[in-house]
Structure 1
Amino acid sequence: MRTLRALWGSSHPGPTLVVTALAFALGLAIGLPPWRLALLTLAVFAGQLSVGISNDAVDAPRDRAVGRSDKPLARGDASVRAAWIAASVALAAALALSAPLGWRMLAAHALTLGSAWAYNVGLKSTAWSIAPFLVSFGVFPSLATLSAEPPAFAAGWAWIAGAALGAAVHLTNVLPDLSDDARTGVRGLPHRLGARASAVVAALAVATGALAVLLGAAGGELAAVAPVSWVFFAAVVVVAGATAWLVATRPPSRMLFRLVMLAALLLAAQLVVSGGMLAGR
């Protein structure tokens, strides 16, 4: 049980559950039948487990070096070997659960997971660290629409919104760990930009994604935008504006991280509300 608890803690439970819930909500929004919705949700959950656990397995030596007592593998609660086995099993399960939903869904999910694993095993320390997030989150809305019958890729505006969400997640997720990363040689794009610039770019990305959803779901007609979409769009813009103000007036802090993540969650909710138009039909 100790090993299982450690592996769950290494899976980044918060992001894992949020991304899984987003997949479920998008599938529900487009009206997937229960069995397809269940497979989509379980496949995404297994995939996120594989991504989170493999990330901590790769980072275990660095986490030990900087004394990350919040990391189960760094504490020795489970072995790195056990983590790699668990991550591999979860990856295989994610692909196996995707297969009954069709080869297009399987291929799309394999692409999102392959991109995420590429970040874990090397790209996170390069100037291209944002690329896997643009790819994985850009494709993400299509996991729901490709699970439908007939399958279809998500509309272009949903790809833009997903990529914007991924950019914001990446640029802010590492902000609390910039100093630890610098000590262990991790220099991804946010490290090169710095905390202030990363927060500004993340806020602009979220606002761009919100605009894409607002206009895209309404076919570019402002008069056709639903009131609830205006509400979410306004909320995203307000939070993004608050982030910009905070960047300009105060030193970088965890509040910066929380504000951008709040804007990202609002964008995700806006995407779900517009789910009926995801396939562009």
Structure 2
Amino acid sequence: MRTVRALWGSSHPGPTLVVTTLAVALGIAVGLEPWRLALLGLAVFFGQLSIGISNDAFDAARDRSVGRTDKPVARGDVSERTAWVAASVALFLALALSAPLGWRMLAAHALFLGSAWSYNAGLKSTAFSLVPFIVSFGLFPSLATLSSPDPSFAAGWAWIAGAALGSAVHLTNVLPDLDDDERTGVRGLPHRLGPRLSAVLAALAVTGGAVAVLLGPVGGDLSQVTPLSWIFFAAVVVVAVLTLVRATLRPPARVVFRLVMVSALLLAAQLVASGQALAT
């Protein structure tokens, strides 16, 4: 049980559960049958486990060097070998569970996971660190639409919204760890841009995603936008503006990260609320 708890802690349980819940919510929104919905949720869950655990396995030496006591692998609660085995098994299960949903879903999920693993394997330390988030989150809404009996990629505006969501997550997720990352040679795009510009760009990205979800399902016809869509859009914009003001007037702190995460979750809810319009 100690090993299981350590592996769960290494999986980044918060993001794992949020992404899994979002996948299931998108599956419900597009009307998946129960068995398809269950497979989608399990496939995404194990995929996220593989991403989170492999991230800590890749970073174990760096985390130890800066005294990251919040990381079970670096802390020694579970060995690196065990973490690698667990990440590999989770990756296999994610793909195996995707296969019954069709080869398109399998291929899309493989690309999603390969992109995420590439970030863990080294892209996080380059100026291209944002690319895996654009690719994986841009593709994310399609995991639900490709799981249907009549599979199709998500609409273009959903790709834009997903990529915007992923960009905002990456640009702010690393802000609390910038100093530790710098000391261990991790210099991704947010490190090069600096915390203030990263926070501003994250807020703008979320706002752009909200515009895409507002206008995309109705083909740009504002008269067709539902009151619920306007409510979600307004909420995203309000939080994004607060983020911009806070990041501009004072040095970015953890509160900026939390504000962006709130706006990102609102954008995700707005995306789910678009329902059947997700499919092209």
Normalising by the smaller structure, the TM-score range is: over 0.9
What's 1:240 paired with?
Answer: 240
Instruction: Give how far 1:258 is off.
Output: 0.3
What's 1:106 paired with?
Answer: 106
Please identify, of 246-255 and 111-120, the stretch whose mean Cα deviation from structure 2 is larger.
Answer: 246-255
What's 1:84 paired with?
Answer: 84
* CA distance, structure 2, for counterparts of residue 44 and residue 14 of structure 1: 14
- Alignment of 1:199 onto 2:181: no
Aligned with 2:185: secondary structure? coil
* CA distance, structure 1, for counterparts of residue 163 and residue 182 of structure 2: 26
For structure 1, the 5+ residue unaligned runs are none
What's 1:253 paired with?
Answer: 253
Instruction: Give how far 1:58 is off.
Output: 0.4
Instruction: Give how far 1:74 is off.
Output: 1.1
TM-score where L is the length of structure 2? 0.99
Instruction: Give how far 1:218 is off.
Output: 1.5
What's 1:122 paired with?
Answer: 122
Instruction: Give how far 1:8 is off.
Output: 0.3
Structural RMSD (CA): 0.5
Instruction: Give how far 1:253 is off.
Output: 0.7
What are the equivalent positions in structure 2 for 1:1-281 lying under 5 Å apart? 1-280=1-280
Aligned with 2:59: secondary structure? helix
- The alignment of Structure 1 onto Structure 2 pairs a total of residues equal to 280
* CA distance, structure 2, for counterparts of residue 172 and residue 196 of structure 1: 10
Instruction: Give how far 1:275 is off.
Output: 2.2
Which consecutive segments of 4 or more residues in structure 1 shift more than 3 A? Answer: none
* CA distance, structure 1, for counterparts of residue 245 and residue 275 of structure 2: 31
Deviation digits for residues 139-186 of structure 1 (CA, Å, limit 9, x no counterpart):
000000000010010000000000000000100100000000011010
Deviation digits for residues 86-111 of structure 1 (CA, Å, limit 9, x no counterpart):
00000000000000000000000000
* CA distance, structure 1, for counterparts of residue 146 and residue 56 of structure 2: 30
Instruction: Give how far 1:276 is off.
Output: 1.7
* CA distance, structure 2, for counterparts of residue 153 and residue 185 of structure 1: 38
For structure 2, the 5+ residue unaligned runs are none
Residue identity (%): 76
User: Which amino acid in structure 2 is aligned with residue 120 of structure 1?
Assistant: N
* CA distance, structure 1, for counterparts of residue 207 and residue 166 of structure 2: 13
Deviation digits for residues 180-202 of structure 1 (CA, Å, limit 9, x no counterpart):
00110100000000000000000
